[in-house]
């Protein structure tokens, strides 16, 4: 992961004027610069070309079609610049969007958050900073929905039940200390489990935590082979 600038240049896309204004206020109050705040997907693409932001925050459903225009614009922006961190906000849990959001490149941070989390201002700002630094963070409710769907994939087959549990918490964006607290174990035990996970998964050079998270989330988003 890289160290993001303390003051991020952000392009914000949200079709609700009230939520857009609220997000802009939260971000600017934290010292960030909202270079543009737009209400539709074409505006998002144009603003990114004009301002070259450090990070993008976008709603999934926006004009002109009111469907997944924001997500498709975000995916297009990531194809153009794989280094651009993107935070996608969604009103509902929808696992169908996950693979398009993650894409095929893990060099930049990416987040999929439910809008209700934005009300937790400190948590939201911390998440934005972590995604700008290169982390992949998916809302715990989305992760749980994927688990409940019963989907799986072979890269996880070699993990123990405890290792899968640890990896699920990593995918929720929890730190080692946070995982230790949830599982009521020591941080040393968490580090041991994560080391075993890294050894078992097909990881490349680079940020192994992000790669492991992507493998886990993609595996849950794919149907089992028949």
Q: Are residues 14 and 117 in the same domain?
A: yes
Same domain, 192 and 120: no
Which CATH number is 127's domain given?
3.40.50.2300
23 & 127 share domain? yes
- 196 and 157 in a single domain? The answer is yes
- Mean pLDDT (whole number) for 158-165: 87
Residue 98 domain flag: yes
Domain containing 211 — which CATH number?
Answer: 1.10.10.10
136, 174: one domain: no
pLDDT at 68 over 60: yes
On whether residue 93 sits in a domain, the answer given is: yes
* In a domain? residue 160: yes
Task: Provide CB contacts within 8 A for 46, sequence distance 6+.
Answer: 38
Residues 112 and 29 occupy one common structural domain: yes
Q: What pLDDT shows up at residue 152?
A: 47
Q: Which of 82, 106, 141 is the last residue of a domain?
A: 141
- Do residue 13 and residue 92 come from a single domain? yes
Tell me how many domains the chain contains: 2
Mean pLDDT (the chain) is 83
pLDDT at res. 96: 57
Q: What is the b/e burial string over 59-74, where b = at least 16 CB atoms within 10 angstroms of the residue's CB?
A: bbbbeeeeebbbbbbb
Domain boundary among 97, 113, 141: 141
**Residues forming beta bridges with residue 89, ordered by sequence position:** 59, 113
CA–CA gap between residue 69 and residue 45 (Å, rounded): 11
Least confidently predicted of 35-44, 103-112, 183-192, 202-211: 103-112
Question: Is 34 part of any domain?
Answer: yes
* CA angle (57 as vertex; 36, 213 as ends), nearest 5: 155
Q: Give the pLDDT of residue 225.
A: 35
Residue 226 lies in a domain: no
Residue 29: CB partners within 8 Å, gap ≥ 6?
A: none
pLDDT at position 48 is 96
* Within a domain: 64: yes
Note the pLDDT tens digit of each residue in 172-191. Answer: 888 999 999 999 999 999 99
Instruction: Check whether 202 has a pLDDT greater than 90.
Output: no
Determine the length of the chain. 226
Please give the share of the chain, as a percent, with pLDDT higher than 90. 42
123: containing domain:
9-141
Contact in structure between 68 and 61 (CB atoms under 8 Å): yes
Give domain status of residue 15, yes or no: yes
The verdict on 135 and 180 lying in the same domain is no
Q: Is residue 61 part of a domain?
A: yes
Whether the CB-CB separation of 83 and 53 falls below 8 Å is answered with: no
pLDDT higher than threshold 80 for residue 41: yes
Domain identity same for 169 and 111: no
Of 106, 141, 176, which residue constitutes the final position of a domain? 141
Amino acid 223: pLDDT? 39
For strands 86-90 and 110-114, give the pairing. parallel
Enter the pTM of the model.
0.67
For residues 105 and 140, the model is more confident at 140
Q: Do 13 and 107 fall into the same domain?
A: yes
179 plus 119 within the same structural domain: no
Are 215 and 133 found together in one domain?
Answer: no
């Amino acid at each position: 992961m890289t160290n993001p600038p303390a003051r991020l240049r952000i392009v914000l896309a949200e079709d609700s004027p009230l939520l857009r204004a609220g997000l802009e206020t939260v971000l600017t109050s934290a010292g960030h610069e909202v270079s543009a705040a737009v209400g539709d997907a074409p505006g998002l693409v144009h603003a990114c070309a004009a301002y070259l932001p450090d990070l993008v925050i976008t709603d999934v459903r926006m004009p002109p079609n009111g469907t997944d225009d924001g997500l498709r614009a975000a995916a297009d922006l990531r194809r153009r610049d794989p280094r651009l961190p993107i935070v996608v906000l969604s009103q509902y849990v929808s696992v169908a969007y996950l693979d398009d959001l993650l894409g095929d490149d893990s060099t930049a941070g990416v987040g999929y958050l439910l809008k209700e989390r934005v009300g937790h201002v400190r948590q939201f700002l911390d998440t934005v900073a972590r995604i700008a630094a290169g982390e992949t963070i998916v809302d715990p409710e989305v992760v749980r929905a994927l688990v409940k769907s019963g989907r799986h994939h072979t890269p996880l087959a070699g993990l123990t039940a405890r290792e899968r549990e640890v990896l699920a918490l990593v995918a929720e964006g929890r730190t080692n200390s946070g995982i230790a607290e949830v599982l009521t174990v020591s941080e040393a035990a968490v580090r041991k489990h994560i080391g075993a996970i890294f050894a078992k998964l097909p990881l490349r050079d680079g940020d192994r935590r992000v790669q492991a998270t992507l493998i886990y989330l993609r595996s849950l988003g794919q149907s089992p082979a028949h």
